[in-house]
Amino acid sequence: MLLNSPERFKKTATYLAVFVLIVAVFVLTAQLVSAQASLGIEVGVNTGLGTADLKTIIVRIVQVLLGFLGIAAVVVIIYGGYIWMTAAGNEEKVAQAKKILVNAIIGLTVILAAFAIVTYVVNKFGEATREGGAVQKRPVYSINPGALGAGVLQAVYPEPGARDVARNTLIMVSFREEINAATIIDLESNPQACQNVPEGTRCGFLRQTAGSPAVVVKNVNDDSVLNANQVVALTNDNRNFVFDPIQYLGEAGAEAGYSVNLTDFIAKADGAPAFLSGGYLWSFTVSSLLDLTPPKVESVIPSGDQAVAKNTTLQITFNEAVNVVGATGQAIIDDAGQLNSAGGSFDNITISYTDGQGNLRFVSGEFMIANQFRTVQFTTDVVCRDQRGEPVAVNSCGVVPTCFPGETDFTVLVKAAEVDQNNLTLDVFSGLTDATGNSLDGNANGLAEGPSLDNYSSSFSTTDQLDLIAPVLISPLEPEQNADLVPVNQRVKGFFSEYLLSGSLNNDTFRVFEAGCGNPTDFPEALSCYPAGGFTTFTKNFEGDLSINNGQPATQVILKTYYPYLNPLTSYNSRLTNGIQDLYQNCFYPSFGPGRGPVPNL
């Protein structure tokens, strides 16, 4: 019927194309207006149905309908060609064939135009509704996005594309290797903010080179750039850097877009360039408000009455990002087991115990930042030894783990920073503060009251045993193998059988890259093989949830890619390596887990 009536086909194609275009625009507009409102589709998890949002479902239906129309148009064109070829000079059939071809081509043009418009609308509304439903007017990246995830960068704060960032925010950058601090910081300058920095901290205004700061902080609303002497930069380990604008960003009453460019002047400790030409640039949106809410301790692992193996690692997770310089450092002790303050020992967080003679002693080791600046982890530097003083057997990483003293009770103290009578921080280095300079709220009453009231204390105990059981995956990675129609902003997730060492979840151990890149058994090194938008990894701990590891401790690992996210119509691989460690420093066995093999008996 349709093939014998080209006029009807053209009209049908036109009407249907216009109809589905209107439906797509209507649905996407409704999606924008309703923002994050629940549509009840989450029940699909329990019913066995899909859980894609309504916008995605409608768009897929529209695309399928337009695809069928396109196929029909091609069939009509073939049919018209067949009539022309078999006309044998019959002018009436030739005229009929021409009419069929003309109408089919017109219909196909309408279909292609509708498809192009739907695609454009989907992309634009996708940009408008991503990350909380707010309109994103500017790209998150424009220069070398692969530097985050596949390159030299471990994490940046605020996150790329973040919105509602407080005006009094710090800008923080974590590198994967040591950087020549002199290429970022003017070490000869001496701003007032550097007067009370801890020993060993390198501090000063931004380094100025070729008329531009080494780190360019730009208000993209008016194209104004902060001068080098308007930003104080500091680091205590040449890997984690804090940039503190002297004046608040943005302005009261209006939000403002900002970009940060780590320029290609920055060099690694060995002198090699840290970035490709142009450096690395990301952007975020600053709100019109200040953040005056103090941070809180979200969890401490281990803690409580149940003793843990002595090769444990301590992890303290906060409810928001903390100032990395005030939260990391080396705990150095003297022969009497006391913190060596003269030697620059870190003391904003301490771990102490009472020995057999009743003496108070401290534990030596390193405090490191992880989990997007929200988790501080501590690993002691004392090698595990047996009763004869010999190092114990190697673990699944092939190394001898480090240990706390066995059969001992420990006290963990997290210090709050000093505050004035208005609860404002006086000295950000005197204790733990968040990324906006608020002192720790250790008693969780909503106020920053300083060390006397807000120091946070926790305790745990050790056994004299070692935990040498390697962690394994307890569920397949999401998206699952060979999954189709995966959203471009999909986060890759997986559950492990116990608490993981957050710092071991990094760009070397958890990656996503194009399936066609490099040797499938190894991580490819070419930057072009990684997501165009860069990526970071973080963890989320669970315990008591019977649906996850039968209520036992478990960790969800999450890999987040940033705008422009994954490339569409591209196959990707997700990879976890044996560099991932549990809380007891045991390395993950990639060959064991769902679909692989049984857990090894260590």
Listed residue (191, 585, 243) closest to 402, CA to CA: 585
pLDDT of residue 394: 87
pLDDT band, very low/low/confident/very high, at 46 (cuts 50, 70, 90):
very low
Report the pLDDT value the prediction gives residue 483, as an integer from 0 to 100. 85
* Amino acid symbol at 224: S
Average pLDDT estimate for 197-213: 91
Which of the residue ranges 192-201, 308-317, 525-534 has the most confident prediction, judged by mean pLDDT? Answer: 308-317
Single pTM value for the model: 0.76
* Cα–Cα dist 594/325, whole Å: 40
Which 3 state secondary structure label does DSSP give 385?
Answer: strand
Question: What are the DSSP calls for 414-425, one per residue?
Answer: EPBPEE-TTS-E
Helices 91-129, 6-34: inter-axial angle, 10-degree rounding: 0
Distance CA 195, CA 427 (A): 10
Does residue 223 surpass a pLDDT of 80? yes
Residue 71 is predicted with a pLDDT of 79
Contact by Cβ (8 Å): 315, 375: yes
Both tokens of 297, joined, read 């301790």
Q: What is the percent of the chain with per-residue pLDDT over 90, rounded to a whole number? A: 52
Q: Which helix (DSSP H) or strand (DSSP E) does residue 123 occupy?
A: helix 91-129
Please, what sign has the CA dihedral across residues 368, 558, 321, 270? positive
Task: Give pLDDT tens digits for 237-287.
Answer: 999 999 999 999 999 889 999 999 999 999 999 999 999 889 999 999 999
Q: What is the mean pLDDT of residues 444-472?
A: 94
Output the CA torsion sign for 542, 544, 547, 550.
Answer: positive
- Kindly tell me if the per-residue pLDDT of 433 is higher than 90: yes
Q: Does residue 226 carry a pLDDT above 60?
A: yes
Q: For residue 393, what pLDDT band results from cuts at 50, 70 and 90?
A: confident
Output the pLDDT for position 99: 86
Q: Which of 176-190, 317-331, 517-531 has the lowest mean pLDDT?
A: 517-531
In angstroms, the first-to-last Cα distance of the chain is: 71
Query: Which sign does the torsion angle of CA 400, 401, 407, 411 carry?
Result: positive
Looking at residue 11, what is its pLDDT? Answer: 59
Q: Is the pLDDT of residue 9 over 70?
A: no
What average pLDDT score do residues 108-125 get?
69
What b/e sequence results for 252-266 when a residue is b if at least 16 CB atoms lie within 10 Å of its CB, and e otherwise? eeebbbbbbbbbbbb
pLDDT at 361 over 50: yes
Residues 6+ apart with CB under 8 A from 217: 171, 225, 226, 231, 243, 245, 249, 258, 259, 260
- pLDDT-derived band at 544 (thresholds 50, 70, 90) equals confident
Quick one: DSSP state of residue 543? -
Peptide linkage before 479 cis (omega within 30 of 0) = yes
pLDDT tens per residue across span 132-146 = 333 344 456 678 888
Q: Which residues contact 423 (CB under 8 A, 6 or more apart)?
A: 294, 439, 447, 448, 449
pLDDT at 86: 84
Q: How many residues does the chain have?
A: 602
Q: Report the distance separating Cα 80 and Cα 101, nearest Å.
A: 5
Q: What is the mean pLDDT of the chain?
A: 83
Cβ atoms < 10 Å from Cβ of 143: 18
Query: Would the pLDDT of 492 be above 80?
Result: yes
Contact 100, 7 (CB under 8 A): no
Q: Helices 91-129 and 54-85, interaxial angle, to 10°?
A: 160
pLDDT at 316 over 80: yes
Task: Identify whether 471 is preceded by a cis peptide bond (ω within 30 of 0).
Answer: no
